[in-house]
Chains A and B, each alone.
Chain A
Amino acid sequence: MANVSKAVEVGKGHGEHGDHDHAHPSFLAHHFDTPAQQFNAAKLGMWVFIATEILMFGGLFCAYAIWRAVDPSIFDQAHHFLNKKMGAANTVVLLFSSLTAALAVRSAQVGKRKATSVYLIITILCACAFLVIKYFEYSHKIHLGLLPGHCFGHPGFSGAIQNGEEVGTCLRVHADQAAGTPQWVRAIDEDGHVQLLPPRTNMYFGLYFMMTGLHGLHVIIGMSILGWVLVRNMKGQFSKEYFTAVDLGALYWHLVDLVWIYLFPLLYLVGKPE
């Protein structure tokens, strides 16, 4: 710490003369006076980015809010096709990964390089576990035919199941298409109960796949960022004086956690229980 302070003081002195070249610590970019200034600027930038991320997800949350207000019944019915236990397990996995990300930052703050690496590895492994659980959920739903356009497609489109036709567990009922009767779909939910899904239930599954899909993309990006931070940490590029990338990488990971904290109840929990 003393070394840095000394270096910074010298750096300050040179800064006044517009000469940064020699006195800055190696991690301090040319255009910053002090490590603290650099750290705070990076953090502010990250928080602005996080705000834009929230607004990007906001489009989907807005769509959710509108459709839920328009027709809550499709949410009541369709949420039975989501496995609460898997969702809860994934929530705990992500929360735990957030904990290890926070502990990785803490280790970096106190200059424990090895511990930082271990916590980062655990965080990345949790991200893998999350994706594996998500894979099982997705493949089950795809098997059931709940992707947009299959069970729920307009009968006029190719690939959509036709009236009265049974594909997998989906059966399109109310076959009187000519009279313009709304399309209901019968399918078997997570508890093995037969559910009669009202028209436009595809909106729910569309939102489910888009929201969890965009979130899943963030999980993958977050893993990549944490992997990059891990490599840099193992190369010894961080110290208790300079750990900005660890901090910001963890912030990104916490954002992934934050989004899931809202997605889980919105998609898995808020319907009428049976």
Chain B
Amino acid sequence: MATEVAHALAHPDDGAVHAHLSSAQFYWGIFGALVFLTFVTVMVSYFDFGSANIVIAMVVATAKAGLVATFFMHLRHDKLFNTLTFLAAFLFLAIFILLTYDDIGRRGEVDNDYGGTIKAQTGQVAPGGEPATSATADETNEKPPEAP
């Protein structure tokens, strides 16, 4: 905050564009860090950490994306609202993915052989699920026993 005030004082509001200027060496440094992180993520991929594989890959990717957005895309010295706009996209992306995931998760189980979604207990097509092949369709065509 203090730096921003100093920045504003250094440039009285004359209406001209005062974009922050980073040195070329600084940008080369960021590039070096990005290449290093790429090297790390490729090397790590040759080892198996089980379910942590994707977590490690995503953490490194997010670090790289952070460097690009913060420095190459100037968010560090840009208006805060631009950063919020950018982050809002990820917020809504997270809502999108989580709700879809929840939806899929509650529709029944995916039939590993045929790809349709079925109710685990009865083998019937779950709500919203589509039988992927005639095999699952056959199962679902069997009518449940009628009540006497």
On whether A34 and B15 interact (CB within 8 A), knowing A50-B89, A261-B65, the answer reads: yes
Interface segment among B24-32, B121-129, B140-148: the answer is B24-32
How far apart are the CA atoms of A273 and B53 in the complex, in Å? 10
Give the bracket for the number of chain B residues in contact with chain A.
35 or more
Checking A5, A54, A95, A110 against B16 with a beta-carbon cut-off of 8 angstroms, the contacting residue is: A5
List residues of chain A with CB within 8 A of the CB of B34. 95, 98
Q: Which A17-60 residues sit within 8 Å CB-CB of chain B?
A: 33-37, 39-40, 43-44, 47-48, 50-52, 54-55, 58
In the complex, which residue of chain A has the Cβ closest to the Cβ of B27? A102
Q: Is B21 an interface residue (CB 8 A)?
A: yes
Chain B at the A interface: SS class: helix
Complex interface bits, B29-57 against A, C-beta within 8 A gives 1, otherwise 0: 01100110010011001111000011001
On whether A106 and B27 interact (CB within 8 A), knowing A39-B17, A98-B72, the answer reads: yes
Task: Name, among B31, B47, B53, B73, the residue most crowded by chain A CB atoms within 10 Å (CB to CB).
Answer: B73
Q: Is A176 an interface residue (CB 8 A)?
A: no
Complex interface bits, B83-94 against A, C-beta within 8 A gives 1, otherwise 0: 001101110110
How far apart are the CA atoms of A273 and B49 in the complex, in Å? 10
How far apart are the CA atoms of A34 and B93 in the complex, in Å? 35
Chain A at the B interface: SS class: helix
Give the bracket for the number of chain A residues in contact with chain B.
35 or more
Q: Is B19 an interface residue (CB 8 A)?
A: yes
Contact yes or no, A254 B97, CB < 8 A? no
List residues of chain A with CB within 8 A of the CB of B42. 84, 88, 269
Contact yes or no, B110 A70, CB < 8 A? yes
How far apart are the CA atoms of A96 and B28 in the complex, in Å? 9
